[in-house]
Amino acid sequence: MSERPRTRRTTVYDVAQEAGVSIASVSFAFRRPEQLSDATRERVLEAARRLGYAPSASARGLARGRTGILGLHAFDLMLERAHEPEARVRALRDLHSPDLEGPRTIAWTETDDELLADPRAFPLYVDEVQRGFALECWVMGRPVMLSSGSDNDVSVADTAGRVDGLAIFPSEGSAAALSRFSSSIPIVLFSAAPAADGHHRVRVDNTGGMREIMAHLLDVHGVRSFAFVGRLDSWDGEERFAQYRESLIQAGLAPEDEPVDATVRGPDRMAEQLHALAAAGRMPRALVCSTDQNALAAMDVVRELGFRVPDDVIVTGFDGILAGRLSTPALTTVRQPMEAMGRAAARILAGTAGPLPEDGSPFDAVFAPALFVRASCGCG
């Protein structure tokens, strides 16, 4: 441990003794100041200040039955991110090994900088949503708890036990684990399948967004050969792929049955598949990607294969993260109102989101995205 022996925490008992009152009066001094005479209240507060009294949130939470905290949970956020720019993993380990000691200067290299300030690693979709969530909580005067963990029951239960309400970026198998808790605390799932589990939903209109992208490519650019890059392991991915296919069918084109697999974890199959398409001389005119991250990765691969973007191959994204605005060419995409979605989740959990639907069903807040036409499709 890095800490010297600490003095026992100051409690209500200490303050009560110091101020010559009962512990109830100490509690009242903070929670119901109007119930005490000015003199007593001041005496108590002064004693508390003198003793460095910090009321135990655990005790308060236990007595009151709620913690006052709203939580935002992401499954394995760390791992997902650690794997992406492969170098990140190294960075994490390195920071673990050298012990910090005493007052000393910690050197820092440019390599680290390039790594740490990479907009392709931060801020991503979750970061912007998280920011909205946190801002809204602060406006309400509530602290926020951010957690990340695997989607096993224990981890989820543990998180659920710490908060009055929980917003979650769900993972593939987590829905079942989550529904279990929505009877005791409100749960908001971002971009999750409709469920009879009683949890609320905050999501973007994937169908509308994808329809806009496809309309732009079909009508403005007259594209007739497509491929979809992404995964079907999330509700967002499924909806986007479904509308992609729908749009092609409407246009009289035959969509493929499977997307080009763009996993961000494990071996990258996307490059392999794009290479295969190129080798077969069947590289499509447009790559419609499920996310901006997928799109940026796809652009790299496509260029590696000797194609120019957008001249030879058009690439589009989905989400509207900062990195897509900064890339060359800038990414044509559909932007989600991420901060607003985070805020909405917080308000739903806090119970300040307005009346529930009449029929007693949970909230299902669907946000409209906005098309941003930029250079990666040949416009702008």
Residues 236-265 that bind a copy of itself (CB under 8 A): none
38 versus 110: smaller Cβ distance to DNA = 38
- Per-residue contact track with a copy of itself, 51 to 90, x per CB under 8 A? -xxxxxxxxxxx--x-x-x-x-----xx------------
Q: How far is the CB of 178 from a copy of itself (least distance, A)?
A: 10
- Closest CB to a copy of itself among 146 and 249? 146
CA distance 125 to 322: 9
Neighbouring CB atoms inside 10 A of 17's CB total 15
Q: How far apart are CA 340 and CA 137, in angstroms?
A: 13
Q: Which of residues 288-317 bind a copy of itself (CB under 8 A)?
A: none
**Alpha carbons 264 and 380: distance in angstroms, whole number:** 29
Concatenated DSSP letters of 319-359 = B--HHHHHSSSPPBEEE--HHHHHHHHHHHHHT-S-PPPTT
Question: Does residue 39 interact with a copy of itself by CB under 8 A?
Answer: no
Q: Which residues pair with 190 in a beta bridge?
A: 202
- Please state at what angle helix 235-250 crosses helix 206-215, rounded to 10 degrees: 40
Query: Of the two residues 38 and 358, which places its CB atom closer to DNA in the complex?
Result: 38
Round to whole Å and give the CA distance between 283 and 226: 9
Partner from DNA, a copy of itself, none binding residue 37, C-beta < 5-8 Å depending on class: DNA
Q: Which does 11 bind (CB under 5 to 8 A by kind): a copy of itself, DNA, none?
A: DNA
Query: How far out from the chain centre does Cα 129 lie?
Result: 5
Nearer to a copy of itself, 3 or 257 (CB): 3
Contact positions toward DNA, by CB under 7 A?
Answer: 8-13, 21-28, 30-31, 35-37, 39-41, 53, 55-56, 59-60, 62-65, 161
22 binds, among DNA, a copy of itself, none (CB under 5 to 8 A by kind): DNA
12-19 vs 38-51: helix axis angle to the nearest 10? Answer: 120
* Whole-number Å distance between alpha carbons of 82 and 264: 10
Indicate the helix (H) or strand (E) that contains 240. helix 235-250
- Provide, rounded to whole angstroms, the least separation between the CB of residue 49 and DNA: 14
The interface partner of residue 173, options being a copy of itself, DNA, none and the CB cut-off 5 to 8 Å by kind, is none
| Contact of 73 with 149, CB cutoff 8 Å | yes
DSSP state of 167: E
Nearer to a copy of itself, 61 or 85 (CB): 61
Integer Cα distance of 190 and 171 in angstroms: 10
Rg of the chain in Å (alpha carbons): 26
- Based on CB atoms, which residue is closest to DNA, 20 or 173? 20
- Find the shortest distance in angstroms from Cβ 39 to DNA: 6
Asked whether 290 and 242 are in contact (CB, 8 A), the reply is no
- Among positions 109-168, residues that touch a copy of itself (CB under 8 A) are 109-110, 112-113, 116-117, 119, 122-123, 127-128, 131, 134-136, 138-139, 141, 143-149, 153-154, 157-162
Residue closer to a copy of itself, measured from CB, 271 or 331: 331
Exactly one of 38, 39, 108, 258 binds a copy of itself (CB under 8 A); which one? 108
Of 344-373, binders to a copy of itself (CB under 8 A) are 344, 347-348, 351-358, 360-361, 363-370, 372
Closest CB to DNA among 44 and 286?
44
**Residue 116 touches which of a copy of itself, DNA, none (Cβ within 5-8 Å per kind):** a copy of itself
Q: How many residues does the chain have?
A: 380
Instruction: Return the number of the residue (21 or 344) whose C-beta is nearest DNA.
Output: 21
